[in-house]
Amino acid sequence: MTQQDIKLTRLNKYISDTGYCSRREADRLIEQGRVTINGKIPEMGTKVSDDDVVSVNGKPVKEKQKRIYIALNKPAGITCTTERHIQGNVIDLIDYNTRIFPIGRLDKPSEGLIFLTNDGDIVNKILRAGNAHEKEYMVKVDSTVTDRFLKDMARGVPILDTVTKPCKVTREGRFEFKIILTQGLNQQIRRMCEHFGFQVKSLTRTRIMNIDMQGLKTGDWRLLTDKEMAEINSMVESSSSTEEASDYGQEKPKTKSQHSKRGVNSAARQKRFGYGDYAATPGQVESDAPATDFWSDNQQEASTSVDEQDDSTTNFWTENAKANASVIEESNHVVEDNSASFSDEQIASRARFESAQKRKSHKKPATRFSIIADREKAKLANAKSEPAAPRVKGTLTLKKK
């Protein structure tokens, strides 16, 4: 027999086929170095034959066993887990002589149909959301089931940072309805009802794909027939088994981007500046009117105050004009006498400064420096048009009146 004639199987599938665990769990065991082939630690993706000895934690995995498929009518209060130390676990309830595990979950307070098997490959195919396999539930709530409630539930409900897929919802009684889902988010039905203010009183899964609870009392179980399994295998034939069942339907931790400060600041900016989802509505604009009036009133009061100050300042200069006239006249003579000590550039710079200050002021009265600056500015303008006369130093004599 040549190497090509030997049938090789991927290691994770080989372990899964023995019923030891699912493929994803087998991958974890391989990554952790807990799996050996003929005493050697293999790499991911290694293939094995029936002649190889595959061991997990130092113990050879048993030969392929007959695949088991069980349908259980789970009572309320039983936990869907393989952890035997947890009181009221589903494995102890069935007490089967072969290692099995549940396909999916059913909340502890919920009851109804659930599958158990030792076939790790079919678990993922049944649970994968993209395969749209139906699961039917009967739900009793604390309030009257209305048409609006049924339509909203069927349309899709925002929970767990997503929106549930459209589903079929029908009324079965005043406080009871039937819902058919094709996905299995964590506590999906309870969260959907809570979104609309309804509390679930009881929840029973009545069907999974082509299997119902007919003939099964609460707590009873039975093996699925070959015909039923043929139908299930036909339904999942094109299904991918890449998604791990144990990971499916769990709340995924929020990523850093979902908590990023940038997103929060962006929303704050929208709310502050009025765009995006926080853009002001007509009602909001109307509610902002009092604030606008407040600032308008204060602007008018401030303007009135400035005018009053300007009037008082003007009156002050008017009343003191006579007293200052002689001082200004004397200053003019002094400036004319001492102007030779300043360069034209310095005088022009001072004139520009005084001019700028004058433009910035509001009704600012003339000052000593502004008068001097205006006169020097006029002299500079005349100097450009005709040559300046030579300056002669002399003594200034003031005449008394």
**Which residues form the catalytic set?**
107
Helices marked H in 81-146: 90-94, 120-127
Q: Tell me the three state secondary structure of residue 176.
A: strand
Q: How far apart are CA 202 and CA 110, in angstroms?
A: 7
Contacts of 29 by beta carbon, 8 Å cutoff, 6+ apart? 15, 21, 35, 56
The DSSP secondary-structure symbol of 40 reads B
Pull the structure tokens for residue 210.
């082509």
User: Containing H/E element for 25?
Assistant: helix 23-31
Pull the structure tokens for residue 61.
């995995």
CB 106 within 8 A of CB 205: yes
* Identity at 247, one-letter amino acid code: D
Q: How far apart are CA 67 and CA 299, in angstroms?
A: 86
Task: Provide the CB-side half-sphere exposure for 391 (13 A, CA).
Answer: 11
